[in-house]
Structure 1
Amino acid sequence: MFDKNSGSPAYANLLSSITAGRHRLRNRVIMGSMHTRLEAEPDGVARQAAFYAERARGEAAVIVTGGFSPNREGMLDYEGPRLDDAVKALKLRPICDAVHAEGSLICAQLLHAGRYAKIEECVAPSAIRAPINRFSPREMSEEDIRRTIDDFAQAALNAQVAGFDGVEVMGSEGYLINEFAVTHTNKREDGWGGSADNRHRFPVEIVRAVRGRCGPDFLIIYRISAADLVEGGAPVEEIAALARKIEAAGADILNTGIGWHEARVPTIAYPVPRGAWRKAAANVKAAVSIPVVASNRINTPEIAEDILASGDADLVSMARPFLADPHFVRKVREGRADEINTCIACNQACLDFIFSDRPASCLVNPRAGREMEFRDTRSVSPKNVAIVGGGAAGMATAVEAARLGHTVTLFEAKDCLGGQLNLARAVPGKNEFDETLRYYTGQMNKHGVSLRLGQRASLDDLTGYDHVVIATGVTPRIPDLPGIDHPNVVTYAEILTGEREAGQYVAIMGAGGIGHDVAEFLVTPAAKTNEVAAFFQTWGVDGQFRSVGALAGDPLANMPAKRRVVMLQRKTSKPGQGLGVSTGWILRNALRKHGVEILAGVIYERIDDEGLHVTSNGKTRVIAADTIVLCTGQEPERALYEALVVRGIPTSIIGGAAEAAELDALRAINEGHRLAQSL
């Protein structure tokens, strides 16, 4: 949690300036590159200009864009952005101008997707298909390699002419340059493969060509893979050697990337402890004299300051934290660190939106990527607003409405705020929701929201308001099943709140998102000492980042479980099909490691002292369980809404009360913000 009394002196390293190449950076924070898909929108340049300018206004020293391919075969997909056309590149100048007007530098990331490109023309150092791509790459010829090096240099020049201060050359995460550097994907026997020196030729010549084409004033950041997390990845000695060669070739900054996209180790999602990868950056820093950047799961000024003060890195890169709060650095400088809206690493509206061909946004900040859709001007006709429900939807509405000048009273039947967030906070890794609750509580206090905790609002309580917002959420659905009232039956809410304790043998009815979360809660042992060390042990990572690929075992090796758990669902579809694209695999693998059995296509028959009786594959079986957890859906709490409508009181309903579909904080917060904007 943040120290509310802390001002800028508490973050002296974070806020100090630093020289990189011929540029003086105003602080030690880089907004890291991330795909946004804003460029694919009809008004893409204007939306990107608004998006990046807002982060520059928040005082990020350097902003790195999403990846631009240097040529056609390097595109992530057929709609991916490119920088190989000088005329089209000039159309990006409004983005650079908008960022410069707010005092930040901006660099275009140059990213050749290599064998990760989801196009038929994809290429790679060797013809080895990536496990996450259906297309097989063509092995690059000598001519292809030479042409691609020149394409990088020309793309950098195009960026320079368009107004960018520099480029970041993407050499990590398993993309083309990274593929050349390691034996995992480079099986060549010519001058571009074999020895480390040969495998390093491609990235070194790219950096040298960019420097030669763009001159000494152009900022060159090279993103080096500091931990591949795949078999056949680079050992620490090769990473250090490559870092020194890249420095000699003309790079000004070394940014660190962690893990390939095909790696079976989580790198940026909520199960990863904060600052887990800092020692990987420290290994790179020990090898060179130019500034080195630590990245991944750095989401608070405290962890950023600690990394810098310890000497593990010279700068920190934060990408998604600038989605959550574009004014991150500015708030730190102004002594308002407690007002930062913290990234919770859920991936739901950033990566998962990208994977479903939607522009990125943020669960805790719906304005991200939608800056042109929201206003900051106060209401010309402020209203007296009552909000019923202190969960995500209610808190989001209250904060935004009060910020825009409305008088807001929030009723919450319980004696604490949070609603369903209090359930999510109990799930391993999801304690980041603590920060969301901290943020909204602080903002309600700041903007004068009147809280009525422990008061269940009645119709009489709600008379006299100009507008009432019903955000009363959901209750667990209880299925109609013989024995459902058996004493061994509990709801997911009772388990996650600690109201009921599960036994050693558990059956979970329902294998959706809540069912998976409950299973994780029940089988994952708490870290006894060091959270980071426990994470590395669980996922087979060398915590010193010195071994080949930084691996120390099989990431999928079985782990001891606290309980025997069986999860069941009626649907015949793949269990967990609705989980997030970027996080579902982590949760499924974690449960598999802990021996959770999952059955699909079952028919629930009855519950008795023996356990849960089901029919599976035409055969009846008993799931012996001393605890049966109901994760069988939710029912909306909307009785008060219907009564208000009958009485003719202007009323809106949002969140789970409007539609009970899993526990959807993303929808709840977005609806709350937009409703407040429309009042």
Structure 2
Amino acid sequence: MNSDKNTSIDKLFESFNTKSLSLKNKTVMAPMTRAFSPNYIPNKEVAAYYRRRAEGDVGLIITEGTFISHKAANGYENVPAIYGEAALAGWKHVVDEVHAAGGKIAPQLWHVGSVRKPGVGPDKEAPAYSPSGLYKPGAKNGVAMSQDDINEVVASFAQAALDAKNIGFDAIEVHGAHGYLVDQFFWEGTNQRDDQYGGSLENRTRFGVEIVKAIRAAVGDDFTIIFRFSQWKQQDYSAKLCQTPAELATFLGLLSDAGVDIFHASTRRFWVPEFEGSDLNLAGWTKKLTNKPVITVGNVGLDADFIGEGNADLSGTSNPTGIDELLVRLNNNEFDLVAVGRALLVDPQWVNKIKHKAIADIKPFNKKSLTSLS
């Protein structure tokens, strides 16, 4: 890397403030599904897991996906719910533990859509729900949603956000990425509707817009709404919602106007340019087009993808690396916050070790990292 590029770490450890969020630094724990919540209730071990990251000086913790109250929202066993007295009490304990350690925390609100398989979740008889009954182009799974179904899901997101605010969360994040329900409406490959929710990009964005507006109405103007989106889908890594900056501007503008405060631009590798002719990544383009705070994410601090070349079966090890390229982009104001996934999952002290340039002390990531609540 050229010596004239700014790799100062100071900006990463500046405070960040917007609405209900007041963060000690610009690091974020990315949401990562762990499946350690028996009966869909986050327990004391889950609370301790998140507290350790707060004790490690993470600025903001975004929880694993937590499913809303719609009967088909869940797609996996032992993931946490965010409705019902027991689950909300469990989350209240998580929040209290994180706050006691000086951290801030937001739940990721989740509906899996047609990723769901039969026999999963509290309502094991519920089918998968999606805009057109498609899991991916040409592959059916479940049922196409009626207007009543859509209204019910929108209301469930709003109620989950209000419950999260009431038990003390500092913000919420809507999971609108990776080929789950909200993203299935965005993606033309899974949205083949011919009503107001299908066809044009504006129509396909409508469902997400309605969710954000309903959440804003429920939580008020001062509570922070984060929205996670992605071009890629778990069903197709090469998929793109928006082929051009102009299309991205349309998509983001609708969500921004609906009430999104922070965009979480999910990429698999943060250093990859999003469009030809510019070095900006997806987060950089998002900030340029919306002028709102943006979180970048994608293989921060590790030398190999979670799923990718040479590591597709998770049998390989990802080793810790420096973050000079990330710091160059941060110091160029390409984005505002930095989400860290696997590196923080395996090492709760990652933030402090990066701060003190102790990369050699950071733990590597491998398949065994997924088998315990470290």
Residue number in structure 2 paired with 1:491: none
Distance (Å, rounded) in 1 between the aligned partners of 2:24 and 2:256:
22
Q: Is the alpha carbon distance of 1:320 and 1:231 closer, same or farther for their aligned partners in structure 2, counting shifts above 3 Å?
A: closer
* Residues 457-488 of structure 1, C-alpha deviations (whole Å, 9 max, x = no match): xxxxxxxxxxxxxxxxxxxxxxxxxxxxxxxx
Q: Is the alpha carbon distance of 1:188 and 1:306 closer, same or farther for their aligned partners in structure 2, counting shifts above 3 Å?
A: same
Distance (Å, rounded) in 1 between the aligned partners of 2:28 and 2:41:
26
Distance (Å, rounded) in 1 between the aligned partners of 2:348 and 2:138:
32
Distance (Å, rounded) in 2 between the aligned partners of 1:29 and 1:56:
11
Give how far 1:208 is off.
1.1
Higher mean C-alpha displacement, 167-176 vs 311-320: 311-320
SS of equivalent residue, structure 2 residue 63: strand
Q: 2:209 aligns with which of 185, 204, 208?
A: 204
CA contact (8 A) 2:34 2:79 kept: no
SS of equivalent residue, structure 2 residue 106: strand
Alignment partner of 1:165 is 2:167: no
Distance (Å, rounded) in 2 between the aligned partners of 1:205 and 1:317:
26
Residue number in structure 1 paired with 2:359: 338
The one-letter code of the counterpart of 2:368 is A
Give how far 1:342 is off.
4.9
Alignment of 1:424-443 (within 5 A): none
Distance (Å, rounded) in 2 between the aligned partners of 1:178 and 1:96:
28
* Residues 165-213 of structure 1, C-alpha deviations (whole Å, 9 max, x = no match): 1211001101111110121111101111111111111111111111110
CA contact (8 A) 2:353 2:362 kept: no
Give how far 1:80 is off.
3.6
Give how far 1:235 is off.
2.0
Give how far 1:225 is off.
1.5
Alignment partner of 1:76 is 2:75: yes
* Greater relative contact order structure (CA < 8 Å, 6+ sep): 2
Residue number in structure 2 paired with 1:308: 330
Residue number in structure 1 paired with 2:123: none
Higher mean C-alpha displacement, 19-28 vs 64-73: 19-28
Distance (Å, rounded) in 1 between the aligned partners of 2:287 and 2:135:
33
Distance (Å, rounded) in 1 between the aligned partners of 2:170 and 2:335:
22
Alignment of 1:299-448 (within 5 A): 299=301, 300-333=322-355, 335-344=356-365, 346=366, 348-350=367-369, 353=370, 360-361=371-372, 369-370=373-374
Q: Is the alpha carbon distance of 1:114 and 1:99 closer, same or farther for their aligned partners in structure 2, counting shifts above 3 Å?
A: same
Residue number in structure 1 paired with 2:256: 247
Alignment partner of 1:257 is 2:266: yes
Q: Which runs of 4+ in 1 moved over 6 A?
A: none
CA contact (8 A) 2:21 2:170 kept: no
Alignment partner of 1:51 is 2:49: yes
Q: Is the alpha carbon distance of 1:40 and 1:279 closer, same or farther for their aligned partners in structure 2, counting shifts above 3 Å?
A: same
Give how far 1:330 is off.
2.3
CA contact (8 A) 2:31 2:341 kept: yes
SS of equivalent residue, structure 2 residue 108: strand
Give how far 1:27 is off.
1.0
CA contact (8 A) 1:30 1:62 kept: yes
CA contact (8 A) 1:90 1:161 kept: no
CA contact (8 A) 2:137 2:189 kept: no
If the length of structure 2 is used for normalisation, what is the TM-score? 0.81
Residue number in structure 1 paired with 2:314: none
Q: Is the alpha carbon distance of 1:330 and 1:132 closer, same or farther for their aligned partners in structure 2, counting shifts above 3 Å?
A: farther
Residue number in structure 2 paired with 1:282: 284
Q: Is the alpha carbon distance of 1:303 and 1:86 closer, same or farther for their aligned partners in structure 2, counting shifts above 3 Å?
A: farther
SS of equivalent residue, structure 1 residue 73: coil
Give how far 1:232 is off.
6.4
The one-letter code of the counterpart of 2:330 is L
Q: Is the alpha carbon distance of 1:210 and 1:343 closer, same or farther for their aligned partners in structure 2, counting shifts above 3 Å?
A: farther
SS of equivalent residue, structure 1 residue 33: coil
CA contact (8 A) 1:72 1:82 kept: no
Alignment of 1:667-678 (within 5 A): none
Distance (Å, rounded) in 2 between the aligned partners of 1:247 and 1:340:
40
SS of equivalent residue, structure 2 residue 290: coil
Distance (Å, rounded) in 1 between the aligned partners of 2:346 and 2:15:
24
The one-letter code of the counterpart of 2:165 is Q
Give how far 1:230 is off.
3.9
Q: 2:242 aligns with which of 230, 234, 237?
A: 234
CA contact (8 A) 2:30 2:341 kept: yes
Q: Is the alpha carbon distance of 1:325 and 1:232 closer, same or farther for their aligned partners in structure 2, counting shifts above 3 Å?
A: closer
Residue number in structure 2 paired with 1:104: 103
Q: Which runs of 5 or more structure 1 residues have no equivalent in the other structure?
A: 2-8, 259-266, 354-359, 362-368, 371-679
Residue number in structure 1 paired with 2:133: 127
Residue number in structure 1 paired with 2:17: 19
Distance (Å, rounded) in 1 between the aligned partners of 2:224 and 2:364:
28
Alignment of 1:646-661 (within 5 A): none
Task: Mark the structure with the bigger radius of gyration.
Answer: 1
Residue number in structure 2 paired with 1:216: 221
Distance (Å, rounded) in 1 between the aligned partners of 2:359 and 2:92:
35
Distance (Å, rounded) in 2 between the aligned partners of 1:185 and 1:220:
26
Distance (Å, rounded) in 2 between the aligned partners of 1:34 and 1:232:
22
Q: Is the alpha carbon distance of 1:243 and 1:21 closer, same or farther for their aligned partners in structure 2, counting shifts above 3 Å?
A: farther
CA contact (8 A) 1:226 1:284 kept: no
Q: Is the alpha carbon distance of 1:328 and 1:115 closer, same or farther for their aligned partners in structure 2, counting shifts above 3 Å?
A: same
Distance (Å, rounded) in 2 between the aligned partners of 1:43 and 1:146:
26
If the length of structure 1 is used for normalisation, what is the TM-score? 0.46
Q: Is the alpha carbon distance of 1:58 and 1:197 closer, same or farther for their aligned partners in structure 2, counting shifts above 3 Å?
A: same
Distance (Å, rounded) in 2 between the aligned partners of 1:316 and 1:68:
21
* Residues 308-366 of structure 1, C-alpha deviations (whole Å, 9 max, x = no match): 11332111110111123211222344x3433541545x4x135xx4xxxxxx44xxxxx
Give how far 1:41 is off.
8.0
Give how far 1:50 is off.
0.9
Give how far 1:78 is off.
4.9
Q: Is the alpha carbon distance of 1:122 and 1:14 closer, same or farther for their aligned partners in structure 2, counting shifts above 3 Å?
A: same
SS of equivalent residue, structure 1 residue 233: coil
SS of equivalent residue, structure 1 residue 38: coil
Residue number in structure 2 paired with 1:191: 196
Q: Percent identity?
A: 30
- Tell me the C-alpha RMSD between the 2 structures: 2.6
Q: Is the alpha carbon distance of 1:257 and 1:245 closer, same or farther for their aligned partners in structure 2, counting shifts above 3 Å?
A: same
SS of equivalent residue, structure 1 residue 239: helix
CA contact (8 A) 2:41 2:90 kept: no
Q: Is the alpha carbon distance of 1:249 and 1:324 closer, same or farther for their aligned partners in structure 2, counting shifts above 3 Å?
A: same
Give how far 1:227 is off.
4.6
Residue number in structure 2 paired with 1:10: 8
Q: Is the alpha carbon distance of 1:16 and 1:117 closer, same or farther for their aligned partners in structure 2, counting shifts above 3 Å?
A: same
Q: Is the alpha carbon distance of 1:285 and 1:340 closer, same or farther for their aligned partners in structure 2, counting shifts above 3 Å?
A: farther
The one-letter code of the counterpart of 1:141 is S
Q: Which runs of 5 or more structure 2 residues have no equivalent in the other structure?
A: 2-6, 119-125, 274-279, 302-321
Alignment partner of 1:146 is 2:151: yes
* Residues 137-192 of structure 1, C-alpha deviations (whole Å, 9 max, x = no match): 20000110011001000011122222211211001101111110121111101111
Q: 2:183 aligns with which of 147, 154, 178?
A: 178
Alignment of 1:607-618 (within 5 A): none
Residue number in structure 1 paired with 2:317: none
SS of equivalent residue, structure 2 residue 72: helix
